[in-house]
A = this chain, B = another copy of it.
Amino acid sequence: MYLRPTFEEIKDSANRIRVYIHRTPILHSHNIDRIFSAEIYFKCENFQKVGSFKPRGAINAILQLSRESLKQGVATHSSGNFAQAIAYSAQILNIRATIIMPRTSPKVKVEAVRSYGADIIFCEPTLEARESTLNDFVFKSGATFVHPYNDYNVIAGQGTAALELLENNPALDIIIAPIGGGGLISGTAIASKAMNPSIEVIAGEPKRADDAYRSIEAGYIIPSVNPQTIADGLLTSLGDMTFPIIQSLVNRILTVSEDAIISAMKLIFTRLKIIVEPSSAVSLATLLEYPEHFIDKKVGIILSGGNVDIDNLPWYRKTN
- Tell yes or no: A316 within 8 A of B by CB: yes
Contact residues in B for A266 (Cβ distance below 8 Å): 310
User: B274 near A273 (CB under 8 angstroms)?
Assistant: yes
A47 at the interface (CB under 8 A from B): yes
CB-based nearest B residue for A311? B315
For residue A291, CB closer than 8 A to chain B, the reply is no
Does any Cβ of B come within 8 Å of A220's Cβ?
no
Residues of B within 8 A of A310 (CB): 266, 269-270, 313, 315
A153 on interface, CB distance cutoff 8 Å = no
Is the CB of A58 closer than 8 A to any CB of chain B?
A: no
Task: State whether the Cβ of A279 lies closer than 8 Å to any Cβ in chain B.
Answer: no
Q: Is the CB of A273 within 8 A of B273?
A: no
Residues of B within 8 A of A47 (CB): 273
CB contact list, A201-230 vs B, under 8 A: none
Is A188 among interface residues, defined by CB-CB distance under 8 A?
no
A53 to chain B, nearest CB (A): 13
A89 on interface, CB distance cutoff 8 Å = no
Asked if A46 is an interface residue, CB under 8 A from chain B, the answer is yes
Which B residues touch A274, using CB under 8 A?
273-275
Asked if A25 is an interface residue, CB under 8 A from chain B, the answer is: yes
Closest to A34 in B: B115
A51 CB within 8 Å of chain B: yes
The residue in chain B whose Cβ has the minimal distance to the Cβ of A309 is B270
Beyond A51-B273, A313-B313, list 16 extra A-B contacts (CB 8 Å): A25-B25, A46-B273, A47-B273, A266-B310, A269-B310, A270-B275, A270-B310, A273-B274, A273-B275, A273-B276, A273-B306, A274-B274, A274-B275, A275-B275, A310-B315, A311-B315
Q: List 6 A-B contacts (CB under 8 A).
A: A270-B310, A273-B274, A273-B275, A273-B276, A274-B274, A313-B313
